[in-house]
Structure 1
Amino acid sequence: MRPSTAALPPTLIVIPTYDEREALPGTLARLRAAVPDVHVLVVDDSSPDGTGEWADQVAARDDHVHVLHRAGKEGLGPAYLAGFAWGLEHGYEQLGEMDADASHRPEQLPGLLEAVRRGADLAIGSRWVRGGRVHDWPVSRLLLSRAANAYVRALLGLGVRDATAGFRLFRAELLEQLLAADIASQGYCFQVDMTRRARAHDAVIAEVPIDFDERTEGVSKMSPRIVAEALVLVTLWGLSRGAQRILRRLG
Protein backbone atom coordinates (compact mmCIF):
# COMPACT_ATOMS: atom_id res chain seq x y z
CA MET A 1 0.00 0.00 0.00
CA ARG A 2 1.33 3.43 -0.93
CA PRO A 3 1.85 5.70 2.11
CA SER A 4 -0.61 8.56 2.36
CA THR A 5 0.56 12.10 1.65
CA ALA A 6 -2.80 13.71 2.50
CA ALA A 7 -2.57 17.03 4.32
CA LEU A 8 1.15 17.17 3.60
CA PRO A 9 2.95 19.91 5.56
CA PRO A 10 4.89 22.40 3.40
CA THR A 11 7.71 20.24 2.09
CA LEU A 12 10.82 21.10 0.05
CA ILE A 13 13.18 18.68 -1.66
CA VAL A 14 16.65 20.09 -2.35
CA ILE A 15 18.44 18.77 -5.44
CA PRO A 16 22.06 19.95 -5.92
CA THR A 17 23.25 20.05 -9.52
CA TYR A 18 26.47 20.41 -11.44
CA ASP A 19 26.34 19.41 -15.10
CA GLU A 20 23.13 17.40 -14.73
CA ARG A 21 21.34 18.71 -17.84
CA GLU A 22 20.87 15.15 -19.15
CA ALA A 23 19.66 13.59 -15.91
CA LEU A 24 17.64 16.31 -14.16
CA PRO A 25 14.62 16.57 -16.52
CA GLY A 26 13.59 12.95 -16.02
CA THR A 27 14.20 13.05 -12.27
CA LEU A 28 12.23 16.25 -11.84
CA ALA A 29 9.32 15.01 -13.95
CA ARG A 30 9.13 11.79 -11.91
CA LEU A 31 9.29 13.68 -8.62
CA ARG A 32 6.56 16.14 -9.61
CA ALA A 33 4.36 13.23 -10.72
CA ALA A 34 5.03 11.09 -7.63
CA VAL A 35 4.25 13.76 -5.01
CA PRO A 36 2.65 16.79 -6.72
CA ASP A 37 2.31 18.80 -3.48
CA VAL A 38 6.05 18.78 -2.78
CA HIS A 39 8.14 21.80 -3.78
CA VAL A 40 11.58 21.37 -5.32
CA LEU A 41 14.66 23.59 -5.03
CA VAL A 42 17.38 23.04 -7.61
CA VAL A 43 20.69 24.33 -6.22
CA ASP A 44 22.93 24.79 -9.22
CA ASP A 45 26.67 25.49 -9.00
CA SER A 46 26.90 27.43 -12.28
CA SER A 47 26.81 24.28 -14.39
CA PRO A 48 28.65 24.84 -17.70
CA ASP A 49 26.17 22.55 -19.47
CA GLY A 50 23.20 24.86 -18.82
CA THR A 51 21.48 22.88 -16.05
CA GLY A 52 20.65 26.05 -14.13
CA GLU A 53 19.22 27.84 -17.15
CA TRP A 54 17.03 24.83 -17.97
CA ALA A 55 15.79 24.73 -14.37
CA ASP A 56 14.94 28.45 -14.59
CA GLN A 57 12.71 27.72 -17.59
CA VAL A 58 10.88 25.01 -15.66
CA ALA A 59 10.48 27.26 -12.60
CA ALA A 60 8.97 29.98 -14.79
CA ARG A 61 6.02 27.73 -15.63
CA ASP A 62 5.79 25.60 -12.45
CA ASP A 63 5.32 27.41 -9.15
CA HIS A 64 6.41 24.29 -7.23
CA VAL A 65 9.93 24.45 -8.72
CA HIS A 66 12.53 26.96 -7.54
CA VAL A 67 16.16 27.55 -8.44
CA LEU A 68 19.07 28.78 -6.34
CA HIS A 69 22.15 29.76 -8.34
CA ARG A 70 25.59 29.70 -6.76
CA ALA A 71 28.74 31.32 -8.09
CA GLY A 72 30.71 28.14 -8.74
CA LYS A 73 31.33 24.50 -7.86
CA GLU A 74 31.62 24.51 -4.07
CA GLY A 75 30.76 20.94 -3.12
CA LEU A 76 27.76 18.84 -2.13
CA GLY A 77 27.66 19.79 1.55
CA PRO A 78 27.63 23.57 0.98
CA ALA A 79 24.97 23.13 -1.71
CA TYR A 80 22.68 21.32 0.71
CA LEU A 81 23.34 23.84 3.46
CA ALA A 82 22.46 26.70 1.12
CA GLY A 83 19.30 24.90 0.04
CA PHE A 84 18.24 24.12 3.60
CA ALA A 85 18.82 27.72 4.69
CA TRP A 86 16.68 28.91 1.75
CA GLY A 87 13.94 26.45 2.67
CA LEU A 88 13.88 27.39 6.35
CA GLU A 89 13.76 31.06 5.41
CA HIS A 90 10.72 30.35 3.22
CA GLY A 91 8.83 28.52 5.95
CA TYR A 92 8.98 24.87 4.88
CA GLU A 93 8.23 22.42 7.70
CA GLN A 94 9.92 19.39 6.13
CA LEU A 95 13.07 19.55 4.03
CA GLY A 96 14.59 16.69 2.10
CA GLU A 97 17.45 15.87 -0.20
CA MET A 98 17.92 13.60 -3.17
CA ASP A 99 20.23 13.17 -6.16
CA ALA A 100 19.57 14.73 -9.54
CA ASP A 101 20.29 11.52 -11.45
CA ALA A 102 17.31 9.43 -10.25
CA SER A 103 19.59 7.07 -8.33
CA HIS A 104 16.98 7.72 -5.64
CA ARG A 105 13.57 6.77 -6.98
CA PRO A 106 11.24 9.77 -6.56
CA GLU A 107 8.33 7.33 -6.30
CA GLN A 108 9.72 6.16 -2.94
CA LEU A 109 9.63 9.62 -1.34
CA PRO A 110 6.19 8.89 0.21
CA GLY A 111 7.89 6.30 2.41
CA LEU A 112 10.11 8.98 3.94
CA LEU A 113 7.16 11.34 4.31
CA GLU A 114 5.27 8.62 6.15
CA ALA A 115 8.18 7.97 8.52
CA VAL A 116 8.32 11.64 9.50
CA ARG A 117 4.54 11.76 9.84
CA ARG A 118 4.82 8.88 12.31
CA GLY A 119 7.31 10.76 14.47
CA ALA A 120 10.80 10.59 12.96
CA ASP A 121 12.85 13.78 13.04
CA LEU A 122 15.05 12.38 10.28
CA ALA A 123 14.03 9.72 7.77
CA ILE A 124 16.83 8.08 5.79
CA GLY A 125 16.24 6.17 2.57
CA SER A 126 18.45 3.19 3.33
CA ARG A 127 20.07 0.70 0.98
CA TRP A 128 21.34 -1.54 3.76
CA VAL A 129 18.29 -2.32 5.88
CA ARG A 130 15.98 -5.28 5.19
CA GLY A 131 14.10 -4.54 1.98
CA GLY A 132 16.68 -2.08 0.66
CA ARG A 133 18.35 -2.90 -2.65
CA VAL A 134 21.09 -1.62 -4.92
CA HIS A 135 20.85 -2.18 -8.65
CA ASP A 136 23.62 -2.40 -11.27
CA TRP A 137 26.57 -1.63 -9.01
CA PRO A 138 29.88 -3.44 -9.51
CA VAL A 139 30.99 -5.65 -6.63
CA SER A 140 33.84 -3.23 -5.81
CA ARG A 141 31.43 -0.36 -5.18
CA LEU A 142 29.09 -2.53 -3.14
CA LEU A 143 31.97 -3.60 -0.94
CA LEU A 144 33.20 -0.01 -0.57
CA SER A 145 29.79 1.28 0.54
CA ARG A 146 29.20 -1.59 2.97
CA ALA A 147 32.69 -1.26 4.41
CA ALA A 148 32.34 2.50 4.79
CA ASN A 149 29.08 2.15 6.68
CA ALA A 150 30.49 -0.61 8.88
CA TYR A 151 33.45 1.65 9.70
CA VAL A 152 31.10 4.52 10.58
CA ARG A 153 29.02 2.27 12.84
CA ALA A 154 32.09 0.93 14.61
CA LEU A 155 33.68 4.32 15.26
CA LEU A 156 30.65 6.55 15.80
CA GLY A 157 28.00 4.21 17.20
CA LEU A 158 25.18 5.92 15.32
CA GLY A 159 22.91 2.88 15.19
CA VAL A 160 22.27 3.58 11.50
CA ARG A 161 22.88 1.07 8.71
CA ASP A 162 23.25 3.63 5.90
CA ALA A 163 24.83 6.78 7.32
CA THR A 164 26.18 7.79 3.90
CA ALA A 165 22.75 7.77 2.23
CA GLY A 166 21.74 10.92 0.37
CA PHE A 167 17.97 10.38 0.22
CA ARG A 168 16.64 12.03 3.38
CA LEU A 169 13.86 14.04 4.96
CA PHE A 170 14.30 16.30 8.00
CA ARG A 171 11.86 18.07 10.24
CA ALA A 172 12.53 21.80 10.07
CA GLU A 173 12.97 21.97 13.86
CA LEU A 174 15.88 19.53 13.70
CA LEU A 175 17.51 21.28 10.75
CA GLU A 176 17.36 24.61 12.56
CA GLN A 177 19.30 23.08 15.45
CA LEU A 178 21.84 21.44 13.14
CA LEU A 179 22.44 24.55 11.04
CA ALA A 180 23.07 26.63 14.18
CA ALA A 181 26.51 25.00 14.33
CA ASP A 182 29.36 25.35 11.86
CA ILE A 183 29.22 22.44 9.38
CA ALA A 184 32.29 22.23 7.18
CA SER A 185 31.92 18.73 5.71
CA GLN A 186 32.20 18.45 1.95
CA GLY A 187 31.31 15.62 -0.39
CA TYR A 188 29.48 12.55 0.83
CA CYS A 189 30.94 12.85 4.33
CA PHE A 190 28.31 15.56 4.77
CA GLN A 191 25.70 12.83 5.15
CA VAL A 192 27.64 11.12 7.95
CA ASP A 193 28.19 14.47 9.67
CA MET A 194 24.49 15.35 9.58
CA THR A 195 23.58 11.91 10.95
CA ARG A 196 26.15 12.28 13.72
CA ARG A 197 24.85 15.72 14.66
CA ALA A 198 21.23 14.55 14.55
CA ARG A 199 22.06 11.71 16.93
CA ALA A 200 23.83 14.16 19.27
CA HIS A 201 20.56 16.14 19.43
CA ASP A 202 18.69 12.96 20.42
CA ALA A 203 16.74 13.06 17.17
CA VAL A 204 14.44 10.19 16.30
CA ILE A 205 16.01 8.60 13.19
CA ALA A 206 14.13 6.12 11.01
CA GLU A 207 15.59 4.14 8.13
CA VAL A 208 13.22 3.37 5.27
CA PRO A 209 14.21 0.70 2.74
CA ILE A 210 14.69 2.01 -0.79
CA ASP A 211 15.94 0.88 -4.18
CA PHE A 212 19.13 2.60 -5.32
CA ASP A 213 19.71 2.65 -9.08
CA GLU A 214 23.03 3.27 -10.80
CA ARG A 215 22.82 6.43 -12.88
CA THR A 216 22.25 5.99 -16.59
CA GLU A 217 22.85 9.63 -17.61
CA GLY A 218 25.57 12.12 -16.77
CA VAL A 219 28.76 11.46 -14.81
CA SER A 220 29.21 10.50 -11.16
CA LYS A 221 30.85 13.13 -8.93
CA MET A 222 32.47 10.50 -6.68
CA SER A 223 36.26 10.91 -6.51
CA PRO A 224 39.24 9.63 -4.49
CA ARG A 225 39.39 13.03 -2.73
CA ILE A 226 35.81 12.62 -1.49
CA VAL A 227 36.56 9.11 -0.20
CA ALA A 228 39.75 10.32 1.52
CA GLU A 229 37.94 13.21 3.20
CA ALA A 230 35.32 10.86 4.58
CA LEU A 231 37.94 8.42 5.91
CA VAL A 232 39.92 11.15 7.66
CA LEU A 233 36.93 12.93 9.20
CA VAL A 234 35.19 9.77 10.40
CA THR A 235 38.45 8.62 12.00
CA LEU A 236 38.89 11.97 13.77
CA TRP A 237 35.29 11.97 14.97
CA GLY A 238 35.71 8.42 16.22
CA LEU A 239 38.89 9.27 18.13
CA SER A 240 37.17 12.30 19.66
CA ARG A 241 34.21 10.17 20.70
CA GLY A 242 36.52 7.61 22.27
CA ALA A 243 38.42 10.29 24.17
CA GLN A 244 35.18 11.79 25.50
CA ARG A 245 34.02 8.39 26.74
CA ILE A 246 37.32 7.86 28.55
CA LEU A 247 37.10 11.30 30.18
CA ARG A 248 33.54 10.62 31.35
CA ARG A 249 34.67 7.39 32.98
CA LEU A 250 37.60 9.11 34.67
CA GLY A 251 35.41 12.00 35.80
Structure 2
Amino acid sequence: MKAAVLYGPHDLRYTDFETPEINDDEILVRMKATGICGSDLPRVLGNGAHFYPIVLGHEFSGEVAAVGAAVTNVKVGERIVGAPLVPCMKCSDCQQGWYAQCKNYSFIGSRVSGSWAEFVKLPARNGVKLPDGVSFEQGAFFEPATVALHGLVVMGFRGGTDVAIVGCGTIGMLALQFAKILGARRIIALDIDSRKLDLAKKYGASVCINTGAADFKQEIRETTSGRGFEMVVESAGVEFTEKLSLEIAGNKGDVMFIGTPSKPITWAPSEFEHINRKELTVRGS
Protein backbone atom coordinates (compact mmCIF):
# COMPACT_ATOMS: atom_id res chain seq x y z
CA MET A 1 0.00 0.00 0.00
CA LYS A 2 0.99 3.66 -0.24
CA ALA A 3 1.55 5.58 2.96
CA ALA A 4 3.10 8.73 4.39
CA VAL A 5 5.93 7.14 6.37
CA LEU A 6 8.01 8.97 8.96
CA TYR A 7 11.60 7.72 8.87
CA GLY A 8 12.99 10.30 11.27
CA PRO A 9 12.63 13.98 12.25
CA HIS A 10 11.76 16.03 9.15
CA ASP A 11 11.88 12.84 7.06
CA LEU A 12 8.30 12.13 5.93
CA ARG A 13 8.00 10.19 2.67
CA TYR A 14 5.04 9.09 0.55
CA THR A 15 6.13 5.60 -0.38
CA ASP A 16 5.28 1.90 -0.44
CA PHE A 17 4.69 0.31 2.96
CA GLU A 18 3.58 -3.11 4.11
CA THR A 19 -0.21 -3.54 4.24
CA PRO A 20 -1.26 -4.54 7.78
CA GLU A 21 -2.32 -8.14 8.40
CA ILE A 22 -5.28 -8.53 10.72
CA ASN A 23 -5.84 -10.95 13.58
CA ASP A 24 -9.13 -12.74 14.29
CA ASP A 25 -10.53 -9.86 16.38
CA GLU A 26 -9.37 -7.04 14.09
CA ILE A 27 -10.63 -5.23 11.01
CA LEU A 28 -8.83 -3.66 8.07
CA VAL A 29 -10.13 -0.24 7.05
CA ARG A 30 -9.60 1.46 3.70
CA MET A 31 -8.99 5.13 4.43
CA LYS A 32 -11.39 7.73 3.09
CA ALA A 33 -10.43 10.69 5.27
CA THR A 34 -7.73 11.30 7.86
CA GLY A 35 -6.69 14.32 9.86
CA ILE A 36 -3.44 15.90 10.96
CA CYS A 37 -3.48 16.44 14.72
CA GLY A 38 -1.44 19.10 16.45
CA SER A 39 0.23 16.27 18.37
CA ASP A 40 1.55 14.89 15.08
CA LEU A 41 3.64 17.99 14.45
CA PRO A 42 6.30 17.39 17.14
CA ARG A 43 6.53 13.81 15.90
CA VAL A 44 7.29 14.97 12.36
CA LEU A 45 9.29 18.11 13.19
CA GLY A 46 11.00 16.92 16.36
CA ASN A 47 11.79 13.77 18.29
CA GLY A 48 8.25 12.92 19.39
CA ALA A 49 7.84 9.58 17.60
CA HIS A 50 8.11 6.35 19.60
CA PHE A 51 9.92 4.52 16.79
CA TYR A 52 10.89 4.68 13.11
CA PRO A 53 9.67 4.03 10.52
CA ILE A 54 6.09 4.78 11.54
CA VAL A 55 2.85 5.74 9.85
CA LEU A 56 1.20 8.48 11.90
CA GLY A 57 -2.49 9.43 11.95
CA HIS A 58 -5.20 8.74 14.52
CA GLU A 59 -8.18 10.78 13.26
CA PHE A 60 -9.83 8.82 10.49
CA SER A 61 -12.83 7.33 8.75
CA GLY A 62 -13.16 4.75 6.01
CA GLU A 63 -14.74 1.57 4.72
CA VAL A 64 -14.22 -1.88 6.19
CA ALA A 65 -12.08 -3.81 3.70
CA ALA A 66 -11.67 -7.07 5.66
CA VAL A 67 -12.73 -8.56 8.99
CA GLY A 68 -11.11 -11.18 11.21
CA ALA A 69 -12.65 -14.61 11.72
CA ALA A 70 -14.09 -13.71 15.14
CA VAL A 71 -15.57 -10.32 14.19
CA THR A 72 -19.36 -10.03 14.30
CA ASN A 73 -20.08 -6.35 15.00
CA VAL A 74 -19.07 -4.90 11.61
CA LYS A 75 -19.16 -6.11 8.03
CA VAL A 76 -17.08 -5.57 4.92
CA GLY A 77 -18.20 -2.43 3.11
CA GLU A 78 -19.59 -0.63 6.15
CA ARG A 79 -18.58 2.97 6.81
CA ILE A 80 -16.83 3.48 10.13
CA VAL A 81 -14.75 5.81 12.25
CA GLY A 82 -12.04 4.58 14.57
CA ALA A 83 -11.23 5.13 18.23
CA PRO A 84 -7.41 5.12 18.32
CA LEU A 85 -6.89 4.25 22.00
CA VAL A 86 -6.49 0.48 22.37
CA PRO A 87 -6.78 -0.53 26.06
CA CYS A 88 -5.45 -3.86 27.28
CA MET A 89 -8.81 -4.74 28.92
CA LYS A 90 -6.92 -6.60 31.68
CA CYS A 91 -5.35 -4.07 34.06
CA SER A 92 -7.10 -2.75 37.17
CA ASP A 93 -8.10 0.49 35.44
CA CYS A 94 -9.63 -1.31 32.47
CA GLN A 95 -11.52 -3.58 34.86
CA GLN A 96 -13.15 -0.46 36.32
CA GLY A 97 -14.00 0.89 32.87
CA TRP A 98 -11.27 3.55 33.03
CA TYR A 99 -9.95 2.74 29.58
CA ALA A 100 -8.23 6.10 29.10
CA GLN A 101 -6.09 5.33 32.15
CA CYS A 102 -5.06 1.85 30.95
CA LYS A 103 -1.57 1.02 32.19
CA ASN A 104 -0.67 -0.98 29.08
CA TYR A 105 -2.51 0.84 26.30
CA SER A 106 -1.56 1.02 22.67
CA PHE A 107 -2.45 3.91 20.40
CA ILE A 108 -3.04 3.84 16.65
CA GLY A 109 -0.80 6.34 14.90
CA SER A 110 1.59 6.62 17.83
CA ARG A 111 2.54 3.29 19.37
CA VAL A 112 1.49 1.35 16.28
CA SER A 113 1.18 2.58 12.70
CA GLY A 114 -1.85 4.67 11.86
CA SER A 115 -4.08 6.21 9.26
CA TRP A 116 -1.80 8.21 6.94
CA ALA A 117 -2.02 5.28 4.60
CA GLU A 118 -4.36 3.43 2.28
CA PHE A 119 -5.22 0.96 5.05
CA VAL A 120 -5.15 0.81 8.83
CA LYS A 121 -5.98 -2.08 11.14
CA LEU A 122 -7.70 -1.84 14.50
CA PRO A 123 -9.58 -4.01 16.98
CA ALA A 124 -13.15 -4.50 15.83
CA ARG A 125 -14.42 -3.03 19.11
CA ASN A 126 -12.66 0.24 18.21
CA GLY A 127 -14.71 0.66 15.05
CA VAL A 128 -17.84 2.83 15.30
CA LYS A 129 -20.36 2.80 12.48
CA LEU A 130 -20.73 6.12 10.70
CA PRO A 131 -24.39 7.24 10.47
CA ASP A 132 -25.95 7.86 7.09
CA GLY A 133 -25.76 11.53 6.21
CA VAL A 134 -22.41 12.04 7.94
CA SER A 135 -19.59 12.41 5.42
CA PHE A 136 -16.21 10.73 5.70
CA GLU A 137 -14.64 14.17 6.18
CA GLN A 138 -16.98 14.88 9.09
CA GLY A 139 -16.40 11.40 10.46
CA ALA A 140 -12.65 12.01 10.65
CA PHE A 141 -13.42 14.53 13.41
CA PHE A 142 -14.78 11.73 15.62
CA GLU A 143 -11.61 11.41 17.70
CA PRO A 144 -11.04 15.12 18.44
CA ALA A 145 -14.77 15.58 19.05
CA THR A 146 -14.75 12.86 21.68
CA VAL A 147 -11.63 14.37 23.27
CA ALA A 148 -13.42 17.70 23.65
CA LEU A 149 -16.68 16.20 24.92
CA HIS A 150 -14.90 13.86 27.34
CA GLY A 151 -13.04 16.83 28.81
CA LEU A 152 -16.30 18.65 29.53
CA VAL A 153 -17.80 15.52 31.09
CA VAL A 154 -14.74 14.93 33.29
CA MET A 155 -14.77 18.51 34.57
CA GLY A 156 -18.46 18.20 35.50
CA PHE A 157 -19.61 20.80 33.00
CA ARG A 158 -22.62 22.79 34.19
CA GLY A 159 -25.04 24.63 31.96
CA GLY A 160 -25.92 28.22 32.82
CA THR A 161 -22.30 29.19 33.46
CA ASP A 162 -19.76 31.46 31.80
CA VAL A 163 -17.11 29.33 30.10
CA ALA A 164 -13.70 30.43 28.81
CA ILE A 165 -12.21 28.43 25.94
CA VAL A 166 -8.47 29.10 26.01
CA GLY A 167 -7.04 28.13 22.62
CA CYS A 168 -9.28 27.89 19.57
CA GLY A 169 -7.65 25.11 17.61
CA THR A 170 -9.56 21.97 16.68
CA ILE A 171 -10.15 20.75 20.25
CA GLY A 172 -11.00 24.20 21.55
CA MET A 173 -13.44 24.86 18.72
CA LEU A 174 -15.17 21.54 19.31
CA ALA A 175 -15.30 22.17 23.08
CA LEU A 176 -16.86 25.54 22.32
CA GLN A 177 -19.63 23.95 20.28
CA PHE A 178 -20.31 21.25 22.88
CA ALA A 179 -20.42 23.90 25.62
CA LYS A 180 -23.06 25.74 23.61
CA ILE A 181 -25.08 22.55 23.09
CA LEU A 182 -24.85 21.78 26.82
CA GLY A 183 -26.29 25.15 27.80
CA ALA A 184 -23.44 27.53 28.63
CA ARG A 185 -24.70 31.00 29.50
CA ARG A 186 -21.83 32.72 27.72
CA ILE A 187 -18.79 31.33 25.93
CA ILE A 188 -15.69 33.51 25.84
CA ALA A 189 -13.09 32.44 23.28
CA LEU A 190 -9.45 33.40 23.81
CA ASP A 191 -6.73 33.02 21.19
CA ILE A 192 -3.83 34.92 19.68
CA ASP A 193 -5.01 34.29 16.10
CA SER A 194 -7.76 36.63 14.88
CA ARG A 195 -8.77 34.17 12.15
CA LYS A 196 -9.51 31.49 14.74
CA LEU A 197 -11.48 34.01 16.78
CA ASP A 198 -13.57 34.88 13.73
CA LEU A 199 -14.38 31.19 13.36
CA ALA A 200 -15.14 30.90 17.08
CA LYS A 201 -17.63 33.75 16.74
CA LYS A 202 -19.27 31.95 13.84
CA TYR A 203 -19.65 28.77 15.88
CA GLY A 204 -21.18 30.33 18.97
CA ALA A 205 -18.71 32.35 21.04
CA SER A 206 -20.43 35.21 22.86
CA VAL A 207 -17.21 37.20 23.24
CA CYS A 208 -13.84 36.80 21.50
CA ILE A 209 -10.67 38.14 23.13
CA ASN A 210 -7.32 38.32 21.35
CA THR A 211 -4.63 37.48 23.89
CA GLY A 212 -2.07 39.21 21.71
CA ALA A 213 -3.61 42.60 22.50
CA ALA A 214 -1.87 44.73 25.11
CA ASP A 215 -5.05 45.22 27.16
CA PHE A 216 -6.57 41.75 26.88
CA LYS A 217 -6.52 41.11 30.64
CA GLN A 218 -8.49 44.30 31.21
CA GLU A 219 -11.01 43.06 28.65
CA ILE A 220 -11.32 39.81 30.60
CA ARG A 221 -11.90 41.74 33.84
CA GLU A 222 -14.60 43.83 32.19
CA THR A 223 -16.24 40.77 30.63
CA THR A 224 -16.47 38.98 33.99
CA SER A 225 -17.03 42.09 36.16
CA GLY A 226 -13.76 41.21 37.86
CA ARG A 227 -14.98 37.82 39.09
CA GLY A 228 -13.14 35.58 36.65
CA PHE A 229 -14.66 32.59 34.91
CA GLU A 230 -16.67 29.82 36.52
CA MET A 231 -15.29 27.27 34.09
CA VAL A 232 -12.09 27.35 32.00
CA VAL A 233 -11.14 24.87 29.29
CA GLU A 234 -7.49 24.98 28.16
CA SER A 235 -6.76 23.24 24.87
CA ALA A 236 -3.51 24.71 23.52
CA GLY A 237 -1.01 22.97 25.79
CA VAL A 238 1.55 25.79 25.91
CA GLU A 239 2.99 27.56 28.95
CA PHE A 240 1.23 30.87 28.31
CA THR A 241 -2.27 29.41 28.04
CA GLU A 242 -1.86 26.97 30.93
CA LYS A 243 -0.75 29.75 33.28
CA LEU A 244 -3.42 32.11 31.95
CA SER A 245 -6.14 29.53 32.61
CA LEU A 246 -5.41 29.50 36.35
CA GLU A 247 -5.15 33.29 36.43
CA ILE A 248 -8.53 33.98 34.81
CA ALA A 249 -10.50 31.35 36.71
CA GLY A 250 -12.76 32.79 39.37
CA ASN A 251 -13.01 31.77 43.01
CA LYS A 252 -14.11 28.13 43.37
CA GLY A 253 -13.77 27.80 39.59
CA ASP A 254 -13.22 24.66 37.54
CA VAL A 255 -10.23 24.39 35.19
CA MET A 256 -9.83 21.61 32.64
CA PHE A 257 -6.45 21.03 30.96
CA ILE A 258 -6.94 19.16 27.68
CA GLY A 259 -3.93 20.54 25.82
CA THR A 260 -0.83 18.37 25.87
CA PRO A 261 2.46 20.27 26.37
CA SER A 262 5.37 19.26 24.16
CA LYS A 263 7.89 21.31 26.17
CA PRO A 264 8.63 21.65 29.90
CA ILE A 265 6.53 24.18 31.84
CA THR A 266 7.86 25.95 34.93
CA TRP A 267 5.42 27.40 37.48
CA ALA A 268 6.36 30.31 39.73
CA PRO A 269 4.91 30.09 43.26
CA SER A 270 2.62 33.07 42.56
CA GLU A 271 1.25 31.35 39.45
CA PHE A 272 0.60 28.04 41.17
CA GLU A 273 -0.91 29.82 44.17
CA HIS A 274 -4.05 30.60 42.15
CA ILE A 275 -5.10 27.01 42.83
CA ASN A 276 -4.76 27.43 46.59
CA ARG A 277 -6.00 30.96 47.09
CA LYS A 278 -9.04 30.60 44.83
CA GLU A 279 -9.68 26.98 45.82
CA LEU A 280 -9.81 25.92 42.18
CA THR A 281 -10.75 22.46 41.04
CA VAL A 282 -8.17 21.50 38.41
CA ARG A 283 -8.53 18.42 36.25
CA GLY A 284 -6.84 16.91 33.24
CA SER A 285 -8.25 14.89 30.38
TM over 0.5: no
Query: Larger % of helix: which?
Result: 1
Greater RCO (CA < 8 Å, at least 6 residues apart): 1
TM-score (norm 1): 0.27
